[in-house]
Structure 1
Amino acid sequence: MRIRWIVVCIMLLLNGLNCKGSLPIGATAVGIAGAALYAGFEKLRCTFYECCYKGADWIQPNIAALNIALEKYIHGQHLVRNVVSRALKAHLFNDQPSKALVMSFHGWTGGGKNFVSKFIAENTYKLGMKSQYVHIFVSTLDFPHEQMADIYKLHLQDWIRGNVSKCERSLFIFDEIDKMPLGMINGIKPFIDYHESIGGVDFRKSVFIFLSNTGGPDITRTMLQMWRAGKSREDITLMDLEHLIQLGAFNEDGGLHKSELIQHSLVDHYIPFLPLERRHIELCALDEIRRRGHRPSQELVKSVADEMVYFPPENKLFSTTGCKRVAQKVGYILATREYENLFE
């Protein structure tokens, strides 16, 4: 009996508890020992394998590091930098949020939506995008058939329910949500609504991010109007654009069209990604050249920017693909120059 109590005592001490008091006996001792042994095993396992155990360091939100990454690599998106970090800080450091955090990123391709999602994962989870608690869905890959929307919806609900039951601090990223089958996204409504729990699972600590090209034309149209009126890009506020992209997401064809999520105000933040100007393309080129280990020059950066296509035709203000094709252009130009140097 005394040996059994010593084992219980050791396990309790390992878990930060004390073992003072009279000796437990029989089933009580076995129950305490079992619970303590399991908790001790969990702590030991979490030292080597990713887990959601409270107190383990696998989920450690670092808002300061996120701010640095956004400032350094997300060019021309002051609204994104202003909103994303604050929204995450308010949610991730709240032990009792009222609902899951839902952010919807909108704008032309190449504006940095996937990049920002990646930085959020990297600065929340130790394993970043490889974490088992980060879940990415690409509509054209995972939900390609419109006629299977109801089946996809059920599978998605099971996936979310199962993974949040394993870890409340789960991150779900829906890419190309504008190409998702109509009505399918309504399936996640219960999980992002104001419910303390559903079937014994609390979804309020989870984060959902939607990536969409909807709203892009409205954002660009408003940007052009402000530019012609002499308003600086940096003076544009969220209030100037948030209502526009909410209406665009609701009315344009796509996964959020006439969505219950919008009707019931369950999307917390509509975040516009502004179309990028030539100066932002040059900054992206600079980043890519350095990433490849080459010394950047003004001439090389200019050559990359010259390869991109801009609109509208009369002033060529914005890149049609943002920074999306910059890496390919940098690689092509560097390879061409290396090839030419062989024959000099």
Structure 2
Amino acid sequence: MKVAHLYLLLHIFSSACVLVNAFEPITTTVVLGVGATLGGIIWKYLNEKCDQKWIAFNSTGLQADLERKLFGQHIASRIILKAVSGFMSNDNPKKPLVLSLHGWTGTGKNFVSNLIAENIYKEGMDSSFVHVFTAELHFPHVGQLDTYKSQLQQWIKGNVTNCERSMFIFDEMDKMHPGLIDSIKPYLDYYEKLDGVSYRKSIFIFLSNAGGENIVQTALDFWKAGQIREEIELKDLETVLSVSVFNSKNSGLRHASLIDKNLVDFFVPFLPLEYRHVVQCALAEMKARGLRPNQEVADLVARDLVYFPKSERVFSVKGCKTIQSKLDYYT
């Protein structure tokens, strides 16, 4: 076995142990689970390389995916395409790309993260260079905050050392312990290197429901004024969104120095979805399943959802989140 491969094996095993120790006490079940999946992880690490064969940004593909698969998000689509395309085309960025995606559940935040990964990494979300952290799963105990901070720093440093084009996705930021995310602030700053490691080519994406109320209220105000949603611009939301997230009690970015120091490149608002968007989601899901899109079924699925305000039924309460299960019932 090559020395480099041996090093990777040791790195993988130590990383797995770090995660287990950092996120939950070791149990027989966890150890068995780690052992069962370690083979697949090792296969990835030994076959997937941090080179252009495995990492190659497809700007045209991302644009097409955003246009054809993401519905009702004209602001988010435009920001994501420009931000990611500009960053990936820059051979010498001054800092990592940091995106903070905000909006109610089911509006497309996780979906967009998947689209970005699929158009950068050959393995998409299954790439060993894409790392997803979920607040309630990985950081459940406030009493272990100091441990989480230390282990999170180690995990990010280790993975960026392995591949500078790494992507880190932090889901449920509204449930994250305040102060935890600031532990990685140095990695998001304008440093050329930290302890010999450059983080400038990595991508960090934060997903949160925080600020969703402000986004919804803006959408409602436009609707009540008789303006179409496509007239809503980033300037109508960006400032109020960043202030809301910074001051929100339910935000992992509460009083975060990441915001104070302007290290978040874009606060990306995801608007509440209307009935027509839910129909589009249902039709797209049928197509993804290899089924012939059926307008009648899509309408049945869309009508089955809850909308607000109650009398006008303008916006879907859960966006497109329950479309898959609803479609199972109607097909």
C-alpha distance in 2, partners of 1:93/1:110? 30
C-alpha distance in 1, partners of 2:158/2:300? 50
1:322 correspondence with 2:307: no
Matches within 5 A, 1:30-69: 49-53=47-51, 56-69=52-65
2:237 alignment partner, SS class? helix
1:169 alignment partner, SS class? coil
CA RMSD of aligned residues (A): 1.4
C-alpha distance in 1, partners of 2:226/2:97? 36
1:246 correspondence with 2:224: no
1:279 alignment partner, SS class? helix
C-alpha distance in 2, partners of 1:199/1:161? 9
Matches within 5 A, 1:250-269: 250-253=246-249, 254-269=251-266
Q: TM-score, normalised by structure 1?
A: 0.81
| Gapped regions of structure 2 (runs ≥ 5) | 1-43
C-alpha distance in 1, partners of 2:290/2:196? 51
C-alpha distance in 2, partners of 1:57/1:63? 16
Q: Is the 8 A contact 2:76 2:269 kept in 1?
A: yes
C-alpha distance in 1, partners of 2:281/2:181? 33
Counterpart in 2 of 1:292? 289
Q: Size of the alignment, in residue pairs?
A: 287
C-alpha distance in 1, partners of 2:95/2:296? 50
C-alpha distance in 2, partners of 1:230/1:114? 30
C-alpha distance in 2, partners of 1:204/1:224? 39
Q: Deviations over 1:305-338 (max 9, x none)?
A: 111000111211100000000110010112xxxx
Residue 86 of structure 1 deviates from its aligned partner by 0.8
Q: Percent identity?
A: 50
Q: Is the 8 A contact 2:283 2:295 kept in 1?
A: no
Q: Is the 8 A contact 1:149 1:182 kept in 2?
A: no
1:112 correspondence with 2:112: no
Q: Structure 1: which amino acid aligns with 2:320?
A: C
Q: Structure 2: which amino acid aligns with 1:284?
A: C
> In structure 2, which of residues 210, 214, 217 is the aligned counterpart of residue 218 of structure 1?
214
C-alpha distance in 1, partners of 2:136/2:265? 25
Counterpart in 1 of 2:98? 102
2:99 alignment partner, SS class? strand
Residue 80 of structure 1 deviates from its aligned partner by 1.1
Residue 289 of structure 1 deviates from its aligned partner by 2.0
Structure 1 runs of 4+ with >3 Å offset: none
C-alpha distance in 1, partners of 2:270/2:138? 25
C-alpha distance in 1, partners of 2:157/2:199? 8
Q: Structure 1: which amino acid aligns with 2:47?
A: Y
Q: Deviations over 1:262-282 (max 9, x none)?
A: 111110000000000000000
Counterpart in 2 of 1:19? none
Q: Structure 1: which amino acid aligns with 2:261?
A: H
Q: Is the 8 A contact 1:105 1:272 kept in 2?
A: yes
Matches within 5 A, 1:112-191: 112-191=108-187
C-alpha distance in 2, partners of 1:298/1:286? 7
2:194 alignment partner, SS class? coil
> In structure 1, which of residues 328, 331, 334 is the aligned counterpart of residue 328 of structure 2?
331
Counterpart in 1 of 2:300? 303
Counterpart in 1 of 2:73? 77
Counterpart in 2 of 1:232? 228
Q: Is the 8 A contact 1:146 1:182 kept in 2?
A: no
| Gapped regions of structure 1 (runs ≥ 5) | 1-45, 335-344
Residue 144 of structure 1 deviates from its aligned partner by 0.8
Residue 150 of structure 1 deviates from its aligned partner by 1.3
1:190 alignment partner, SS class? helix
Q: Deviations over 1:201-227 (max 9, x none)?
A: 001111100000011100011111111
C-alpha distance in 2, partners of 1:317/1:81? 22
